[in-house]
Amino acid sequence: MIGLSVRYGDLQAVRDVSFTAEPGQVTAVLGPNGAGKTSTIEVCEGYRRAAAGTVRVLGLDPATHQRQLGERIGVMLQEGGVYPSARVLDTVRHYCALYGKGAVADDLVAQVGLTSRAKATWRRLSGGEQQRLSLALAMAARPEVAFLDEPTSGVDVNGRDTIRGIVRDLAREGCAVVLATHELDEAERLADRVVIFDGGQVIANGTLAELRKGHDEIRFRSDPHLDLPALAIAIGMVASQVGPDEYVIDAPPHPRLMAQLTAWLAEQGHPIADLRAGGQRLEDVFRRLTAKQGDAP
Amino acid sequence: MSRFLTQLRTELQLTLRNGEQLLLTLGIPVMLLVFFSLVDVLPTGTDDPVDFLAPGILALAVMSTSMVALGIATGFERSYHVLKRLGVTPLGRPRLVAAKIGAVAVVELVQFAVLVPVAFALGWSPSPANWALAVCAVVLGTTAFAGIGLTLAGRLRGEINLAAQNGLYLVLLLLGGMVIPFAKLPSGIRAVAHGLPSGALADVLRETLGGAGSQPTTSWIVLAVWAVVMPVVAAAVFRWD
């Protein structure tokens, strides 16, 4: 998409957004609630009209080729989308028949781990089970592009693993997966590329490595009141306290520096925990980028 | 199986599974027809109450299915994002709407297949009976009521829509000449009642199935106007999400 804008009356929800999602990759569209992720995806699905810009999905304009596109894309809504009184297996059969791609309903239900709930109605499913059913409906399309909106929202740990596995499989089979989420951890685990939204605009777009480039760090936990000036003298670098017992040194994880740090902590009798060295966490990348945006005039 | 038939089958399955809808579309019309035909308490003005009641109850059945049942179901489907989800499948919106119309038609056929024999069993003998014109009236009535039901469903939240549809159902039932003759209504209300789609459909059916309409020409015009205007209004104001 190039220069996409979406408006709701006077409110500009999305402003001049451009990015590409490649086949065989998971592209995470990240941002806080209300950042414009869902609006952007809805334009791609043909559900919402763009105020400006050019959007192509599989070479088609979603606004004018929604039906042709509907044959080739899988959609998972942020919530709902299923008849409350419909049973799990009946619903998946219904969607398999609508898409007519030869997907087998029983297999899809098994794949998302709902075989034991096959006769339960939607309204009797837990939030996580509803999300897994919704994912099964997206898979019934055997999609070339899958739009998954907050797929792990409200899902328990085991359910998340199931969903992550399916998302990776979809990408491995050549599907372009577009994953909208506000959960940075989810994106970090799954995404090949990340598009970060803030205030309806894209503020960063690239692979995780690209976004982290030049922002290596060493992060660790220890006693709450370390003598940071003494530590700086010992290792030749400044450490910052970023939490009650959490510290960050903005530096590449050179073995000598790591050795100096751990030796100093040992000499001073301080513990060390959660030592992590290398690229910034996506959460920190996000904070850095959104802070920059906020500082801009 | 074509996508239209797939969707139609699902619509009918969900209707069958919904006890409240079955009560509304079949249970209440049958109960009203049987009870008030056997217990002569309504001021029908006919020798046999079933001669007045049967066309009115057929009109009620049409209203129950095409306005209330369709409107409530569609309203909740909209609230639960079902319409949005189906809209981005290969089914598409036109076939989704067609499947809903098909489901309404099938349910009405079942209603008539039950209600007409019950009415005959209760002694109804419509004469003269122009069934072809009655079918035309039912088609117009269905179109008008579906337009009203979808207008409400397309604008109101699920729960508010439910209350509005049920409230409107009661008003149209009581003022629409279905079980209470127009002549028994206060004069001010009578004029309004003749302009209602329920009143027009009941009157037209009473004319085509027994020649007992009170002002059939006006009622045909009123019914046709509702049937043209309300679907246009529904299409204009309906929000899919």
Q: Is B63 a residue whose pLDDT tops 70?
A: yes
Percentage of chain A exceeding pLDDT 70: 98
Tell me the average pLDDT across A112-123. 94
Q: Is A297 a residue whose pLDDT tops 50?
A: no
Q: Hey, is the C-beta of A96 within 8 angstroms of any chain B C-beta?
A: no
| Rounded distance between C-alpha atoms, residue B209 and residue B54, angstroms | 9
How far apart, in Å, are the Cα atoms of A243 and each of A225, A231, A246, A248, B21?
Answer: 11, 17, 5, 9, 58
Tell me the average pLDDT across A74-90. 91
Q: Is B1 a residue whose pLDDT tops 80?
A: no
| Residue ranges making up the domain that contains B10 | 2-237
Q: Which residues of B touch A75 (CB under 8 A)?
A: 85, 88-89
Whether B10 sits inside 8 A of A71 (CB atoms) is: no
Q: Is A263 a residue whose pLDDT tops 60?
A: yes
| Amino acid at site A70 | G
| Rounded distance between C-alpha atoms, residue B86 and residue B101, angstroms | 16
What does the pLDDT look like over A4-51, one tens digit per residue? 999 998 899 999 999 999 999 999 999 888 889 989 999 999 989 999
Whether B90 sits inside 8 A of A83 (CB atoms) is: no
Q: How many CB pairs under 8 A join A and B?
A: 71
Q: How confident is the model at residue A295 (pLDDT cuts 50, 70, 90)?
A: very low
Tell me the average pLDDT across A251-258. 88
| Rounded distance between C-alpha atoms, residue A147 and residue B38, angstroms | 60
How far from the centroid of its chain's Cα atoms is residue A92's Cα? 25
Residue pair B6/A100 in contact by the 8 Å Cβ criterion: no
Whether A80 sits inside 8 A of B89 (CB atoms) is: no
Q: Using CB atoms, which residue from A70, A98, A141 is nearest to B6?
A: A98
Q: Hey, is the C-beta of B19 within 8 angstroms of any chain A C-beta?
A: no
ipTM of the complex: 0.83
Whether B90 sits inside 8 A of A67 (CB atoms) is: yes
Q: Which residue of B has its CA nearest to A69?
A: B90
Whether B13 sits inside 8 A of A98 (CB atoms) is: no
Question: What is the model's pLDDT at position B169?
Answer: 95
Percentage of chain A exceeding pLDDT 90: 66
Q: Is B226 a residue whose pLDDT tops 90?
A: yes
Cα angle vertex A274, ends A272, A279, to 5°? 120
Kindly report whether the global pTM for this prediction surpasses the value 0.90.
Answer: no
Q: Which residues of A touch B89 (CB under 8 A)?
A: 70, 75, 95, 98-99, 141
Burial label, A92 (beta-carbon count in 10 A; 0-12, 13-18, 19+): buried
**Structure tokens that stand for A136 in this block:** 């099964």
Q: How confident is the model at residue A296 (pLDDT cuts 50, 70, 90)?
A: very low
**Structure tokens that stand for A28 in this block:** 């995470």
Question: What is the model's pLDDT at position B212?
Answer: 81
Q: How confident is the model at residue A290 (pLDDT cuts 50, 70, 90)?
A: confident
Query: Number of structural domains, chain B?
Result: 1
Q: What is the C-alpha R_g of chain B?
A: 18
* Tokens 């370390």, located at residue: A226
| Amino acid at site B115 | L
Whether A98 sits inside 8 A of B87 (CB atoms) is: no
Tell me the average pLDDT across B139-152. 96
Q: Which residues of B touch A66 (CB under 8 A)?
A: 88, 92
Question: What is the model's pLDDT at position A292?
Answer: 57
Tell me the average pLDDT across A120-141. 93
Q: Is B85 a residue whose pLDDT tops 60?
A: yes
| Amino acid at site B220 | W
Q: Hey, is the C-beta of B17 within 8 angstroms of any chain A C-beta?
A: yes
Question: What is the model's pLDDT at position A293?
Answer: 55
Q: Which of A153-162, A253-262, B124-133 shows the lowest mean pLDDT across its residues?
A: A153-162
